[in-house]
Structure 1
Amino acid sequence: MRISATQRTENENRIRAAMDRLLRGEIPPGGKCDIKTLASEAAVDRTAFYGTRPYAHLRTEFERRLQALQRAGEIPDPREAQISRLKTENAKLKERLTQAGQAIDDLTDFRRQALARLAAQHEEIMRLRDATTGTSHVSHLPSPRTTVIGSCS
């Protein structure tokens, strides 16, 4: 069925209005910022946007404007923005997890080395004590006397 020039103009106006709403982020419930939702919002058959159909140029314009917004860092679809934000957050968390794992490995290695050194030092102390017990030329000093300061005789 053919449509008149007036009907085509009205359809294009509805499509452009729907396009502006979607690109501003006014996404209907259950919709996305895509051609399917654009066609639904404009009450136009989706197939009219493809090939040599009458509104293919509007699909191209919509996709170009959407890509321009995305390059500028704006994502009109809140779900797409959330997905993008979550992917970025996920990558940061993975990096933090990797760093934490490396820190744990480093600290575990440090602990192992410290315990080995302490054990070696303990063995050396015990060896030296045993060596001085039998042939002791070491004399023990008497305990220091405690003096009371401030007493007058």
Structure 2
Amino acid sequence: MRITAAQRTENENRVRAAIDRLLRGEIPPGGKCDIKTLASEAVVDRTAFYGTRPYAHLRVEFEQRLQAMQDAGEIPDPREAQIFRLKAENNKLKERLDRSEQKVEDLTDFRGQALAQLAAQREEIVRLREAAAGTARVSHLPSPRTTVIGSCS
């Protein structure tokens, strides 16, 4: 069924108004900032936005404006903005986890080296004590004397 020029103009005005609302972030519940929601908000058949259909130029205009906003760092769809924010936060947390895991691995290696060194030093001390117990040439030093400092009058 064909529509009149006045109906087409009215439909285009509704589509442009819906584009403006969506790009301002006025997303209806359950909707997104996309062509499907645009068509339902403008009460126009979604297929009219594709190919050589009458509103294909409005779809292109909508997509270009949306892309320009996204390139500028503006995301009109609150859910998309939340997804973007959560992905960035997730990446930060992954990097932090990787650093923590590397630190734990480094500290575990250090602990193993320290324990091995302590065990080797203990074995050396035991060996030296056994060697010293077998010889009479080792003499023990006397305990240090404590001196009292007298007061001057």
Residue in 2 that maps onto 1:127: 127
Residue 74 (structure 1) shift: 1.2
Hey, which bits of structure 1, 4+ residues long, moved more than 4 A? none
Residue in 1 that maps onto 2:10: 10
Residue 144 (structure 1) shift: 2.7
Q: Deviations over 1:103-132 (max 9, x none)?
A: 111111110000000000001011111111
Residue in 1 that maps onto 2:140: 140
Residue in 1 that maps onto 2:68: 68
Identity %: 82
Q: Deviations over 1:84-111 (max 9, x none)?
A: 1111221222222222111111111110
Task: Please give the residue correspondences for 1:20-35 in structure 2 after superposition, counting only pairs within 5 Å.
Answer: 20-35=20-35
Q: Secondary structure at the match of 2:33?
A: coil
Unaligned runs of 5+ in 1: none
Task: Please give the residue correspondences for 1:32-43 in structure 2 after superposition, counting only pairs within 5 Å.
Answer: 32-43=32-43
Residue 136 (structure 1) shift: 2.9
Q: Secondary structure at the match of 1:63?
A: helix
TM-score (norm 2): 0.92
Question: Would you say how many aligned residue pairs link Structure 1 and Structure 2?
Answer: 152
Instruction: Measure the CA separation in 1 of the matches of 2:151 and 2:70.
Output: 89
Residue 5 (structure 1) shift: 1.4
Residue in 2 that maps onto 1:97: 97
Instruction: Measure the CA separation in 2 of the matches of 1:118 and 1:66.
Output: 65
Decide which moves more: 142-151 or 45-54: 142-151
Change (3 A) 1:116 1:128: same
Instruction: Measure the CA separation in 2 of the matches of 1:136 and 1:6.
Output: 121
Residue in 2 that maps onto 1:109: 109
Residue 145 (structure 1) shift: 3.2
Residue 151 (structure 1) shift: 6.9
Instruction: Give the counterpart letter for 1:101 in structure 2.
Output: E
CA RMSD of aligned residues (A): 1.5
